[in-house]
Amino acid sequence: MNKAIVTGANGFVGSHVCKELCREGVQVYAVIKDTDENIDNIKNLNNINIVYCELDSITELPNKIKDRDIDVFYHFAWVGVSSNLRSDENIQAKNALWTAQALRTADKMKCKKFVNAGSIMEKETYMAVCTQESEPGEGYIYGAGKLFARAICKPIASALDIDLCWAVITNTYGVGEFSSRFVNSTIRRIIAGEPLQFTAATQNYDFIYIDDVARAFVAIGEYGKANKEYIIGSGNARPLKEFIIELLQTLAPNAIPLFGDVPFTGVNIPLEEFDTTDIETDCHFKPSTPFSKGIKLTMDWLKSIN
């Protein structure tokens, strides 16, 4: 891989992918939504080219990037990942349509491959909404948007001259994340000395450190096969309770977890849905950061910014 486009290049995952690509000597066109964004985390990277383009104007990208010899188009841009917009059906439907427009735009620009950032929420959403008499919460609207995007992008890609790879991120965490997702929020509660209340935590989960996620996306860009799904995970999915116990033993051995205090309203994804065989076989990728090391790095960073 010599050249790549990265949308959502200033986000948590997108920025780390930019750093990994640049480290590998790839020329990167980093697509940022507007000039008001702080791009300190990527602007000084070697081989980086900053391009401003709103997601709803993605079809204008060929006018902003004249290069037509680009190997991979990485699409991370998505509105409403962790805010109240996660439950906004209008925004999530638009995200799916914008993803389809990005795919068509990538083909128009003669990009060879389109790698989209999917989510394990796609699998959870499918189970939640298709189970008889289920009552899924509004949070699943985000996952429905991701499912919608895949459902329309795969047939579009089949009609175009571009390879589509769908990268399904299980749960990523690490240095640079400001969201309230599970690992981040749990470590913040440890630092603040707050009660550690959880569900029974019997549902299956997986976590992968952000540096490994970035490496996985680079590997998919290099070796991923057309029309395949690649699970980006640790390869050691297990009940969430086991991750919580390891986290506390590593970071707060005297803390007492309260399991069952929080009701669980989701669905339990079967362990086989977390299978990473394809990314290991096709893309020669395996993560290198153990969970215990990743959470230590994350906690040290969170303490440094407080």
In the block, which residue shows the tokens 């079967």? 270
The residue count for the chain: 306
Assess contact for 206 and 182: CB atoms under 8 A: no
Nearest residue to 97 via CA among 30, 135, 145, 138? 145
What pLDDT score does 81 carry? 87
Q: What is the torsional sign of CA 19, 21, 27, 28?
A: negative
What pLDDT score does 133 carry? 87
Task: Could you please state the CATH topology (level 3) that the domain comprising 3-169 is classified under.
Answer: Rossmann fold (3.40.50)
How far is Cα 201 from Cα 240, in angstroms, rounded to an integer? 5
This prediction's pTM: 0.96
How far is Cα 93 from Cα 244, in angstroms, rounded to an integer? 34
pLDDT tens for the chain, 306 residues: list them.
999 999 999 999 999 999 999 999 999 999 999 888 889 899 999 999 999 999 999 999 999 999 999 999 999 999 988 778 999 999 999 999 999 999 999 999 999 999 999 999 999 999 999 989 888 999 899 999 999 999 999 999 999 999 999 999 999 999 999 888 999 999 999 999 999 999 999 999 999 999 999 999 999 999 999 999 999 999 999 999 999 999 999 999 999 999 999 998 889 999 999 999 999 999 999 999 999 999 999 999 999 997
What pLDDT score does 265 carry? 84
Q: Per-domain residue ranges for the chain?
A: 3-169
